[in-house]
Amino acid sequence: MDFIGSLLLITLPDEEVLDGDDNEGISQRLQQEKQEELQISAAKIICDMADYEEFLEALCSSAVVNFLCIVLNQVPKAVEVVTDTFGKLSIKEENLVVLMDSAVGDILESSFKTIPFHRPKEDDEALFDQWTRDIVALSHCANTLGRLIKYNHECQVDVMRIIEIFKYSVHQLRDKPQIPDNVRLLAEMSRLF
């Protein structure tokens, strides 16, 4: 088994089930948290590997792309890392065909439509941290979708969503000009028109 296969293998759920009815809910939650941490760590390693051309072919395998799609949909804390990875994989034009065959375009379209972009109050640290990851992920989605469109791969980007994000972002910039959180997102979305 190669390194990438081993990396993906460690992210699978542990089959051991702890005995005892009282601890079952707690153990399942702990097991889920452990699995999510492993998935996030694996996604980060894959993202780092995508910086090197030597690994790109292996990272475009269906196993890796499927893993990234699952993590994108199931682990909210990984949204930024996974979308960044798809952006890195899409830099080479020949990889776009593989990504489209694996339905990455559809998954990124869906993510772009559903990732929340309204800024929460900063007093809820967990919610604010997730929003920060979501805004960066929207930028990565827009970047990758823009690249797919540039090379004539069919993508259906919701124009009303883009306009809604633009309106909200411009309003935010007007209210808090010293905090331009959404500037990169706006720049990436401009490529989608």
DSSP 191: T
Determine the number of helices (DSSP H) and then strands (DSSP E) in the chain: 10, 0
Q: How far apart are CA 127 and CA 120, in angstroms?
A: 7
Specify the pLDDT at position 159. 87
Q: What is the pTM of this model?
A: 0.84
- Each residue's pLDDT tens digit, 30-51: 888 999 999 999 999 999 999 9
- Each residue's pLDDT tens digit, 52-92: 999 999 999 999 999 999 999 999 999 999 999 999 999 99
- Both tokens of 86, joined, read 């798809």
pLDDT of residue 18 exceeding 60: no
Closest CA to 6 of 33, 60, 32, 45: 45
- Both tokens of 146, joined, read 């823009």
Query: Which of 18-22, 57-61, 93-97, 158-162 has the least mean pLDDT?
Result: 18-22
Q: Which of the two residues, 159 and 183, has the higher pLDDT score?
A: 159
Q: How far apart are CA 141 and CA 83, in angstroms?
A: 6
User: Taking the CB of residue 48, how many other CB atoms lie within 10 A of it?
Assistant: 13
Q: How far apart are CA 182 and CA 184, in angstroms?
A: 6
pLDDT of residue 96 exceeding 50: yes
> In the predicted model, what is the mean pLDDT of the chain?
86
